Structure 1
């Protein structure tokens, strides 16, 4: 898997690079949880649940990502809009708030 990155690291990146950096780190974790190979397509706008992830699996991933990034993720973000695209958008916004502080 791609090396770790914290939310503070993201805040230090130029805004245009944050989403790409997150996708590089998060996509392999979601592929692994979905039993996909590195070559399998992970549509960023498709629901994790439609792809086969369970709520328990998503909760485990949430905890993994929180540990990786060093921040808390609002569970409603993952369950109300369960796509990689939405999660990345949420985390980019969070990094922006950290960068402003």
Structure 2
């Protein structure tokens, strides 16, 4: 799998709950149609384990079969629509691409 990982923080005037509801609801509807999307996992951050990790609300990991498939999704009209949907929300985000390797399973 090749992943797009997005770590995001809500706008200052939104509650954590409102942001997560928006992300998993209204914004999710914009994400599902991404071409080549195989799996989408979302984590709502419940606590930061160290001070430098504070201020983040959620993590999304969108999985594709390959880097080419991920980049095609990012070049798609569906991605452009999802970005427009975020608009000028004023939240923060970190977005990175990379290959996934399972390191442990019990």
TM-score, length-scaled by structure 1? 0.40
Q: Determine which structure has the larger helix proportion and give its number.
A: 1
Q: Determine which structure has the larger strand proportion and give its number.
A: 2
Question: Which one has a bigger Cα radius of gyration?
Answer: 2
